[in-house]
Every structure is written in structure tokens, then in C-alpha cells.
Amino acid sequence: MKRKSNSSSRSAKTFVNKNGYRQFKDSGKYVHRHVEEKKLGRSLKPGEVVHHKDGNPLNNSPNNLKVYRNQSEHMRKEHKKKGKRHITNNNCSATLSGGSASAKHCSG
């Protein structure tokens, strides 16, 4: 007799990883990258970085996302100043040198 709303089934397709980012369970793809791709109308290139404007990696609203061509431009424009950091940017250098850059994005 119980009938839950369908909104809950949608969120069950994703989870939050240990770095604080939401990912799809099936593909492992980051939700914020997926949202940005929808917004742009194309696929993101491997080197491209999606920045969270408010620094909250779980705020995947299209308005909160901004794409940069590469990590250095992203860091230079958004994270140069003190106090404007993302919540989780601990292993930034580790993910950058780690090879599979396509799915990894260290700081939003």
C-alpha cells in the first residue's frame, strides 16, 4: 500500500564520494560534470575542469557551475586568493599527477 514519490528513486542513482562530490553509481561520472555538459550542450574534454562557484561541491545547480579549459586556469582565476577555496581540495596535486584525468577533478 505504500507508494513513495518518484523523486527519491532519482537520487538513489547517485552517491557522495569521500571527497564530497556526487557521482553516478552506474558510470562513476561526476554529477557536476554531467550537469555542465547538459548546460553546454557538448561533452567536456578530459582536461576541462568544472568549478563550483559557491565552493560547495554538492551544489550542482547549473548556475553554480563554471567550466575552465584546464586546471591551471581554474586555479589562477578562482583559487588564487586566500579564503576562496573549495571545501575539499586536499589531494589536488595527487589527482592531477595521477593519470586518469578524465574523471578526476580535485577542487570543484
Contact residues for Zn ion, defined by CB under 5 A: 51, 78, 107-108
8 vs 63 by CB, closer to Zn ion: 63
Q: What is the CA radius of gyration of the chain?
A: 15
Output the smallest distance, CB 80 to Zn ion, in A.
Answer: 11
Phi–psi pair at 75, nearest 5 degrees? -65, -40
When the beta carbons of 23 and 75 are compared against Zn ion, the nearer one is 75
Write 73-79 long-range contacts (CB < 8 A, 24+).
Answer: 73/49, 74/49, 74/107, 75/107, 78/51, 79/107
Beta bridge mates, 52: 65
Q: Cβ 34 to Zn ion, closest distance in Å?
A: 17
CB 74 to Zn ion: min, Å:
5
Whose Cβ is closer to Zn ion: residue 95's or residue 107's?
A: 107
Residue number closest to Zn ion, CB atom: 51
